[in-house]
Amino acid sequence: MDYFLKGFDLKILETFSVIYAERSVRGAAKRLDVNPSTISKNLAKLRSWYDDEMFIQTPNELIPSPLSEQLYPMIEDLLSKAKFISQFKIKTNWNGQNINLTLEEHFLTVSLRNISSDLHKIMGAKDLDINISNWNYKSTSKIIHGEVDVGVCGLESCTDSKYHPDKLPINICHEILFRDIPSVYIHKDHPVLIEDWSFESFIRHEHIGVSWENKKEWVLDTCLNQIGYKRKITLVVNNFIHAVQLASNPEEHRLAIAPTYCWPYIKSNFDKMVRLQLPLKNDILKRIEVLYVVLYHKRMKYNLKNKMIRDYLHSSCSSNI
């Protein structure tokens, strides 16, 4: 039987993956902690083996060739499985392990308040170094570069949104935890409650906006703009819980929009709050549905520690949402 890998150095596949992510020889060398000449030699081997340019040099970066675009998903999957195979010996002692997570703040506040004790229990370790940061516009890049194990954020289900899961980088996997259509939150003495709750009321009143990835508008605003309307956002905060906290002030007449899954938490912590459904047509409600997802690098798909974290997030959502 022919040995089909004869003459093929599997290490060059890792080089390929890192060049694809970094778009430069120097960046790949830094990631792999080798000399740029080593990366150049491996790139030459790739070009020779596949008889293809693989990456085209431009003034700013290396651009993958059409063949590289085709190969990348297969190579990422192969590297993921290879890493899993190389680490297959079951590690029963997780003490001393680092766990780096990036989570949307309201998700952490509402659903994962016991995350540290839960992970210690699940992994059977007394000594875990758990680092949790708030999700921001740099978080996806940190997952790609291996600085974060797992992230949790909300993505937009509208297919033409740039925050739809299909727009994620090719080397990022996602798993849907749950779906949510946001609600409007106001205090029980809000003047809107003495009138009929309607689309006109929703548009007429001022709103508290939430900044997400450096923007204060989202697909809801896109949908409203398309039918000729615009929300009056006169105050912007950095997370949904802060928006609800401000809206709980009896003297505050602005509307806060926050995830519906937060309602049990809001009800128990802000006892004078009222939740109203968004007064929008079904086609718009469907478009503004938020997908809460777990994100991780493809190479971590079979990683045992990573999978344990993801399984915990799924089970936690099943019991809390």
Q: Categorize the per-residue pLDDT at 239 as very low, low, confident or very high, splitting at 50, 70 and 90.
A: confident
Structural contact between residues 73 and 170, judged by C-beta atoms closer than 8 angstroms: yes
Q: What's the pTM value of the predicted model, to 2 decimals?
A: 0.76
Looking at residues 279-292, what average pLDDT do you find?
A: 95
Q: Categorize the per-residue pLDDT at 160 as very low, low, confident or very high, splitting at 50, 70 and 90.
A: confident
Structural contact between residues 187 and 249, judged by C-beta atoms closer than 8 angstroms: yes
At 106-149, the pLDDT tens digits run: 888 888 888 999 999 988 888 999 999 999 888 998 998 889 99
196-199: list long-range contacts, CB under 8 Å, 24+ apart.
197/276, 197/279, 198/279, 199/279, 199/280
Domains in the chain, start-ordered, CATH in brackets?
Answer: 11-86 (1.10.10.10), 97-180+291-320 (3.40.190.10), 183-288 (3.40.190.10)
β-pairing, 97-103 with 150-156? parallel
Is the pLDDT reported for residue 2 higher than 60? no
At 20-74, the pLDDT tens digits run: 989 999 999 998 889 999 999 999 999 999 999 999 999 889 999 999 999 998 8
**In 124-170, where does DSSP find H-type helix?**
139-144
Is the pLDDT reported for residue 1 higher than 50? no
Is the pLDDT reported for residue 295 higher than 90? yes
C-alpha 30/C-alpha 15 separation (Å) is 12
